[in-house]
C-alpha cells in the first residue's frame, strides 16, 4: 500500500542518525574511507553519494583529490552511485561479522543466496489525471505523512516536521536540540548549522518568508546525508533527480522528498513505480482509486485509504 511505502521511507530518514553513527573497525584511511576516520560505513557511502549528486547537478565538487581517490572504489575514474553501493554493501557485510578487508571484498565478494526479483516493465505511456494532481493527507488526524501528484507524472512525499525541525523564537530546533541563532550562519541565502565543526544542516533558501521562514533545498549536512543513504538503500537509479526541500511557516514545517516515484493512470487504476536499479526488487504497485471533489480513495488488498486534498 502507498502509505506503507511512505512510512517505511520516512521512518528510516528520521531515525536518530543510526546509520550515520555506526562504527566498525576497519583498515587505516584508504580506499572506501572517504572521511579518513579509519572506518568504512554508511557515512562514507553518503559522502560518495553526496559528491555524485553535486556533480550530477552541476554543483561544485567538495571532495579533495585524496578523498576522490578513496571514493572511486572501482577505480574507473568516476565517482557515482556504484561506488557508494559497494561501500554500503561492504558495511552490511561487516555488520554481519564479515572478516574480509575492503579491497579483498571488492576482488572476491561473498556469494549471496538472495535472488533478486525481476523488475516488471510496461509500455504504457506515463499519464497524469487532473483529478488526482495535488497534495493529499490521510483523513486520520494523527497521520501527518502525505503524498503529492504532479502534472508531469511525478510523485513526492512530505510529512509534518514541526516537532523536530522548525524555526522558533530563540533558534532552530533540530531533532531534540534547540540551536540558538548565534550558531547559525546565513550567507547569500545559504544556511549552515554546525555543532563542534560537524555540519548538521546545510540548505539554500529558494523562497523567502518572514525572518528565517521560507522554502529551502537541503544540500548537505547530517540530515541530508541520512536521506541520501535512504535513497541508496532503496537502490534508486538516479538520485540526482530527487531533491529534499523544507518549508517553514511560523510554528509549522514540512519536509519533502521531491520526484521520488513516477505514476500513471489508466482509467480507475493508479500505478506507482519506484525507479530502482535492475538488480533490485520491483516496487511497482497498481491500485484502484477514485476522486470525489477533494476526497481521494485508494483501494488495495481489500482495504481502503481515504485522503483529503490540502493546500
Chain segment 160-202, per-residue pLDDT in tens: 999 999 999 999 999 889 999 999 999 999 999 998 877 889 9
Residue 140 pLDDT greater than 70, yes or no: yes
The conformation of residue 240, written as its DSSP 8-state character, comes to G
pTM of this structure: 0.68
CA 245 vs CA 14, 158, 173, 177: distances in Å: 14, 9, 16, 21
* Dihedral sign, Cα of residue 45, residue 154, residue 147, residue 283: negative
Q: What confidence score (pLDDT) does residue 236 get?
A: 62
pLDDT, residue 235, reads 60
**β-bridge pairing 177-179 and 295-300:** unpaired
Average pLDDT across the chain, whole number = 79
pLDDT exceeds 90 at position 272: no
Give the pLDDT of residue 98: 83
pLDDT the model gives residue 122: 34
Q: Considering only 23-27, 119-123, 187-191, which range has the smallest mean pLDDT?
A: 119-123
Average pLDDT over residues 103-126: 52
Lowest-confidence range among 127-141, 187-201, 203-217?
127-141
Give the mean model confidence (pLDDT) for residues 35-41: 87
In the chain, what are the helix, strand and coil shares in percent, each to the nearest 5?
A: 25, 35, 40
Maximal CA-CA distance, the chain: 61
* Total number of residues shown for the chain: 311
pLDDT band, very low/low/confident/very high, at 60 (cuts 50, 70, 90):
confident
Distance CA(203)–CA(165), nearest Å, equals 13
Q: Does residue 213 carry a pLDDT above 70?
A: yes
Residue 255 has pLDDT above 80, yes or no: yes
Domains and CATH numbers, the chain: 17-107 (1.10.1330.10), 134-310 (no CATH)
Report how far residue 11's alpha carbon sits from residue 23's, in angstroms, rounded to the nearest whole number. Answer: 21
CA-nearest of 3, 44, 45 to 235 is 45
Which residue in 134, 131, 129 sits closest to 148, CA to CA? 134
pLDDT in tens, 230-251: 666 666 656 667 888 999 999 9
Summarize the confidence of residues 50-73 as an average pLDDT: 86
As a whole number, mean pLDDT of residues 224-233 equals: 70
288: its cell numbers: 484502484
Residue predicted with more confidence, 87 or 3: 87
Amino acid at each position: 500500500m502507498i502509505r506503507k511505502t511512505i512510512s517505511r521511507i520516512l521512518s528510516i530518514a528520521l531515525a536518530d542518525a543510526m546509520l550515520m553513527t555506526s562504527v566498525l573497525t576497519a583498515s587505516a584511511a584508504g580506499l572506501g574511507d572517504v572521511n579518513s576516520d579509519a572506518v568504512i560505513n554508511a557515512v562514507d557511502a553518503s559522502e560518495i553519494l553526496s559528491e555524485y549528486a553535486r556533480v550530477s547537478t552541476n554543483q561544485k565538487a567538495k571532495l579533495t583529490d585524496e578523498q576522490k581517490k578513496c571514493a572511486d572504489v572501482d577505480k574507473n575514474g568516476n565517482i557515482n552511485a556504484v561506488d557508494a553501493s559497494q561501500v554500503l554493501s561492504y558495511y552490511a557485510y561487516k555488520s554481519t561479522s564479515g572478516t574480509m578487508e575492503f579491497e579483498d571484498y571488492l576482488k572476491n565478494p561473498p556469494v549471496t543466496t538472495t535472488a533478486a526479483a525481476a523488475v516488471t516493465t510496461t509500455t504504457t505511456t506515463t499519464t497524469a489525471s487532473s483529478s488526482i494532481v495535488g497534495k493529499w493527507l490521510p483523513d486520520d488526524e494523527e497521520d501527518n505523512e502525505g503524498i503529492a501528484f504532479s502534472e508531469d507524472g511525478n510523485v513526492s512525499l512530505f510529512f509534518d516536521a514541526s516537532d523536530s525541525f522548525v524555526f522558533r523564537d530563540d533558534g532552530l530546533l533540530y531533532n531534540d536540540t534547540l540551536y540558538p541563532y548565534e550558531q547559525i550562519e546565513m550567507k547569500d541565502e545559504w544556511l549552515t548549522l554546525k555543532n563542534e565543526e560537524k555540519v548538521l544542516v546545510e540548505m539554500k533558501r529558494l523562497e523567502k518568508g518572514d525572518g528565517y521562514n521560507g522554502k529551502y533545498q537541503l544540500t548537505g549536512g547530517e540530515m541530508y546525508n541520512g536521506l541520501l543513504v535512504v535513497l541508496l538503500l532503496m537502490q534508486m537509479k538516479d538520485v540526482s533527480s530527487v531533491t529534499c526541500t523544507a518549508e517553514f511557516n511560523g510554528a509549522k514545517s514540512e519536509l519533502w522528498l521531491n520526484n521520488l516515484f513516477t505514476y500513471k493512470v489508466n482509467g480507475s487504476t493508479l500505478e506507482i513505480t519506484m525507479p530502482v536499479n535492475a538488480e533490485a526488487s520491483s516496487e511497482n504497485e497498481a491500485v484502484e482509486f477514485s476522486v470525489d471533489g477533494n476526497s481521494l480513495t485508494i483501494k488495495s488488498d481489500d482495504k481502503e485509504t481515504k485522503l483529503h486534498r490540502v493546500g
